[in-house]
Structure 1
């Protein structure tokens, strides 16, 4: 007969922190429940009406008591807020060296893509002791990526990217669920996460079937869609150059600016008229419905892989001072 456990197994760096906060909240709730109900019972018995002619004593105020029952709850709630906010802040800031994996939710499956090109459905293989960053979106309705052993739950929303990260601390096989009702087969949208020793993960990665990295597949799609006819590397095309775009600030028509992150690149592919780059016209057509979410992810990775703009070679007889 298996042993009973109040919480799932702890298998990530955040799991103990989340559990400790939960234990604290539980202890505080139970303590004050007992105190309050005990006080209610005591006062109901101690100060019950003993005679019809008895007149109760009127209490006009107790400043010290009011301060106590105001300050103590305030202090406890601030501890809860600070503790919870600290965990939330660190969970929303993946480290720079995290292993990046893309996730697409779809009724009723999880599709996952590694940077090296390997694809998985309802399974995810990751190395032990390495931070893993998931960039996620949905093809249809709202889903929620939930791994109880990692204490990780992140909504996956259509039309935008959401991210989460975790660092596994124990090798094994862990449940993956969708924690947001997403239709008739919601309960079947389950999978497994396999945490492997680093050498086993590398063996799995090198042994899997791959048709190229995400960036390489993105380049092929970029060429198939003839995007290079307008987006020339040296900026001489009808549309802005994509070289060195990712991570930089883009100046927009009308005077605004935007950071070129994954969300901006995605929006520019599917809704190119939303933000027009300064100095260029609104001539790019939308690829909404023409490119799948997986294709968009591949294009995003290709744009991220592009280096800076190629330098323009000076004319042969140009004096050095005029270069």
Structure 2
């Protein structure tokens, strides 16, 4: 029989931080429990039946001051623990300067991953060690939850929304991947593995995988095949917003609002084009809801994002 691990290895920087917080909470809880138990024991002995210990009423000022100190100490401890725990979430929310971006789509009942160069995996995810990895997560059907216990990270993946999950790998190895949200009859079979490899081994693995068109190329083909180019290319006679350089910029809307053209905005503009209409344009674009799969939406978004990168490079 194999060796049973009581404590999972900490395979990411978030795991090390999370384990530290868990240990801290256990120590704090243990000290408070010990304090309360000691006071109960002390009072039980001191004020036992027949004891001559004084039972006179304590002065009001003493009770008031004791209650004030105890309340302030409890509130201060709560705020300190909250700030300590929230600092990790804030750190993970900051987009890294350099990262390996991998697109992952959850569907009943598998995880489909696509690397920047077009390599695809199902229920496996190969990543380089000692690098920050950013997963762009989408669901094709129901709510899933991408969970790697060794990373101490879990991210819900909701249909119709693009979410991101970031982690910095620490240890080379193979770690279990689960869906932590009940998603149907074969939910328990929606498992896989994350393989953390040395950078040289990861580069070698990429070269040995069959390359399809990368996301940007897939998106460009879809952009033409679905008729988007007929309106949004510069040579089009139809008056529609041009997409070069739009990703990441502030877009003025017809109702006077300003909105950032991020993944969510691009996705909503494709599926619900009449919701956030660009100022100066008519709401004539048809909805592509039901006409595009989740993977196709990811590819189109990647292509539109690449148009902004190309414009910036100029």
**How many angstroms does 1:183 deviate by?**
2.1
Q: CA deviation at 1:299?
A: 0.2
> What is the 5 A alignment of 1:51-90?
57-61=56-60, 62=62, 63-90=64-91
The CA deviation at 1:55 is 10
Q: Which residue of 1 aligns with 2:283?
A: 282
> Which range moved further: 127-136 or 33-42?
33-42
SS in 2 for 1:230: helix
Q: In structure 2, which of residues 308, 311, 314 is the aligned counterpart of residue 308 of structure 1?
A: 311
Q: Give the secondary-structure state (helix, strand or coil) at the position aligned to 1:295.
A: helix
Q: Which segment drifts farther, 239-248 or 28-37?
A: 28-37
**Gaps in structure 1 of 5+ consecutive residues:** 312-323
Determine the structure 2 residue equivalent to 1:181. Answer: 182
Counterparts in 2 of 1:35 and 1:274: CA distance versus 1, 3 Å: same
Distance 1:176 1:274 in 2: 37
- The within-5 A match list for 1:91-102 is 91-102=92-103
CA distance in 1, matches of 2:2, 2:20: 24
Q: Distance in 2 between matches of 1:268 and 1:213?
A: 23
After superposition, give the CA deviation of every residue in 1:54-85 in whole Å (9 maximum; x if it has no partner).
99533343244223322322232222112111
The separation in 1 between residues aligned to 2:262 and 2:102, in whole angstroms, is 16
User: Residues 190-205 of structure 1 correspond to what in structure 2 (within 5 A)?
Assistant: 190-205=191-206
* Structure 2 SS opposite 1:94: coil
Match of 2:143 in 1: 142
Asked if the contact 1:235–1:241 (Cα under 8 Å) also holds between the matched residues in 2, the reply is no
Tell me, yes or no, if structure 1 residue 232 matches structure 2 residue 233.
yes
Residues 21/128 of structure 1: CA separation in 2 closer, same or farther (3 Å cut): same
Q: In structure 1, how many angstroms separate the alpha carbons of the residues matched to 2:59 and 2:146?
A: 55
Larger radius of gyration: 1
TM-score by length of structure 2 reads 0.91
Counting only pairs closer than 5 Å after superposition, residues 116-195 of structure 1 correspond to structure 2 as 116-195=117-196
Aligned to 2:106: 105
What is the CA distance between 1:148 and its match in structure 2?
1.2
CA root-mean-square deviation: 2.3
User: In structure 1, what is the Cα distance between the partners aligned to 2:55 and 2:66?
Assistant: 20
Q: Which moved more, 1:215-224 or 1:113-122?
A: 113-122
Cα distance change of structure 1 residues 59 and 6 upon mapping to structure 2, 3 Å threshold: farther
Q: 1:234 and 1:40, CA in 2 relative to 1: closer, same or farther beyond 3 A? A: farther
Preserved contact between residue 94 and residue 164 of structure 1 (Cα < 8 Å): no
Distance 1:193 1:249, change over 3 A: same
Deviation at 1:27, TM superposition (A): 0.8
Q: Distance in 1 between matches of 2:235 and 2:243?
A: 9
How much has 1:5 moved relative to structure 2? 5.1
Q: Whole-Å Cα distance in 1 between the matches of residues 151 and 54 of structure 2?
A: 60
Question: Helix, strand or coil for the counterpart of 1:294?
Answer: helix
Tell me the SS of whatever aligns to 2:311: coil
- TM-score normalized by the length of structure 1: 0.89
